Amino acid sequence: MLDEPFAAGNSVIHRIDPRFRVVASIVYSLVVAVVYTFPALFTAFFFSLCLIASARLDLRRVLKRLVLVNGFVLMFWLLLPFTAEGEILYRLGPIAVYRPGVILAAQITLKSNAILMALIALVSTMSFATLGHAMNRLKFPEKFVFLFLLTYRYIFVIEQEHKKIWRAVKIRGFSPATSLHCYKTYAYMIAMLFIRASARADRVYRAMKCRGFSGRFYTLAEFGASGGNLIFSVTVSLATVAIIALEWFPPKLLPFY
Amino acid sequence: MNTREDAERILKLRGIRFAYPGENPVLNDLDFDLYRGDRIGLLAPNGSGKTTLFHLIIGLLAPNAGILEIFGNEVTAERDFIAIRRKIGLLFQDADDQLFSPTVMEDVAFGPLNMGKSKDEALAISRRVLSFLGLSAFEDRITFKLSGGEKKLVSLATVLAMEPEVLLLDEPMNGLDHHTRMRLREILESIDLTYIIISHDIDFLIDTTSAIYTMADGRIMKDEQVSIHQHDHAHLFGHVPHKHK
């Protein structure tokens, strides 16, 4: 369910300190999310492509993830060009295609893909556990990190419980239908899942108490500084600065603006 | 029993009564003593209060009545139990309850770190325990991807890493394959700790414990002498002459 196909690897990106990657991905995503001019967006898109390339990931898998998100983006292309009114680009019979809509949809496409590719290259190249530790070291709130790691640990157990309940219903001839009986069964299943999850939480907490848990979170992860980190930080910073510069002083090369 | 020194006594339970809210008492007027070096098996029907007894001993539940003395002192407050839990390690029935960290190493080091050990000390203890259990190769494994048997052994490692004096093992053999059962048996034979084992597996208890008690009517019944007897049993290659361990 939650596999980590990109976490194992030994590319340039994989070797960079997870903390640097987390910070870089946050700063970079924020900047890309707020820029609007096309030179800046294309630069970001290209830079994200470079990140993916240097992470040496299975491109088919990357594409599969991108397709998933671009399904949503497709919805924008189906709606925005026809609804965001303004200058008419051209007419398809009775339907007008509006220029601001097309521009907006294009911006969303570039932005979302650039951010997603950067996150795949920088963040999904570390395991959940590493990400948790990186967040802990970056002084993210402890409760947040705990919640993240425990969710990761127990989502599989809850999935198993869900499968168990589902099997129990199925072997007794239950098949989904639009009936009160079916809704009631679903309600029971969900309720049972919550009850089991809560009982599980209780037992886990007891087990933690037995081992002296007092609310403090210790981590064993060691992150070392290396030359690669410096080069990485400088590269990402330069790219980010370039994107901001292009946003503020867009070159008049492209016919959009 | 009475001849043994009080100094050797680890647990002294007198008149313990416990009922879950709105239910009949599971433990009623229960007396129990545990001495250093004891290896006790607890064999009793489901629902007779075995797990409840373990949880009372380490303060996860509080008795409705009775006196609980551990290491010679009466314990009632949560603060007292925090110290007790370092000396008495509980192995839970379900390993998934016990293992909550992403990796094996972190889970094993969790206890020592909570006890205030430094990171290096915690790592050293964890490595030692893992290698004692033959799990050295497991350090960086993801806990939820372990098999049932591996999970059980790693849970035992997390308990042993606290360096306890007493072990409470709640159905440790549940759902384990033959190989892991044998490993666990060997491990228990080789550690020099006082322990109580809850199990439904009489053969296992005969091998690993020196006395088997049972529970009825909310009390512990002593059966000091395990009578040796014969009965038919079936397994693969049973027709080949063989001996049982």
Residue A116 C-alpha from the chain's centroid: 7
CA distance B139 to chain A (A): 12
Cα distances from A29 to residues A181, A257, B80, B192, in angstroms, run 47, 24, 50, 57
pLDDT at A112: 94
Domains, chain B, with CATH or none: 6-223 (3.40.50.300)
Q: Which residue in the set A132, A212, A216 is minimally distant from B85, CB to CB?
A: A212
B211-231 average pLDDT score: 73
User: Rounded to whole angstroms, how far apart are CA atoms B20 and B32?
Assistant: 20
Out of A100-109, B108-117, B218-227, least confident range: B218-227
Q: Considering only CB atoms, which chain B residues are within 8 Å of A157?
A: 96, 144
Q: Considering only CB atoms, which chain B residues are within 8 Å of A156?
A: 144
* Model confidence at B1: pLDDT above 60: no
Q: Which residue in the set B86, B97, B102 is minimally distant from A207, CB to CB?
A: B97
CA distance A26 to chain B (A): 24
The DSSP symbol for A62 reads H
Give the chain B residue whose CA is nearest to the CA of A215.
Answer: B114
User: Rounded to whole angstroms, how far apart are CA atoms B97 and A157?
Assistant: 10
Selected residue of A1, A210, A216, A218 to mutate for chain B interface (largest B Cβ count, 10 A): A210
Q: Which of A81-85, A125-129, A145-149, B155-159 is most confident?
A: B155-159
Q: Is residue B95 less than 8 Å (CB to CB) from chain A?
A: no
pLDDT digits (tens, 9 = 90+) for A219-250: 776 676 677 888 889 999 999 999 998 888 87
- How many Cβ atoms are within 10 Å of A166's Cβ, its own excluded? 13
Q: Considering only CB atoms, which chain A residues are within 8 Å of B100?
A: 150, 153-154, 204, 207-208
CA distance B119 to chain A (A): 7
pLDDT digits (tens, 9 = 90+) for B39-83: 999 998 888 899 999 999 998 899 999 999 999 889 988 888 888
Q: Taking CB atoms and an 8 Å limit, are B122 and A152 in contact across chains?
A: no
> Where do the domains of chain A lie?
18-133+222-248, 141-210
Question: Using H for helix, E for strand and C for coil, what is the string for chain B?
Answer: CCCCCHHHEEEEEEEEEECCCCCCCCEEEEEEEEECCCEEEECCCCCCCHHHHHHHHCCCCCCCEEEEEECCEECCCHHHHHHHHHHEEEECCCHHHHCCCCEHHHHHHHHHHHCCCCHHHHHHHHHHHHHHCCCHHHCCCEHHHCCHHHHHHHHHHHHHCCCCCEEEEECCCCCCCHHHHHHHHHHHHHCCCEEEEECCCHHHHHHHCCEEEEEECCEEEEECCCCCCCCCCCCCCCCCCCCCC
pLDDT at A164: 84
User: Rounded to whole angstroms, how far apart are CA atoms B129 and B104?
Assistant: 12
Selected residue of B97, B119, B145 to mutate for chain A interface (largest A Cβ count, 10 A): B97
Long-range contacts of A56-62 (CB under 8 A, 24+ apart): A56/A9, A56/A11, A56/A13, A57/A6, A57/A9, A57/A11, A57/A120, A57/A121, A57/A125, A58/A5, A58/A6, A61/A5, A61/A6, A62/A117, A62/A120
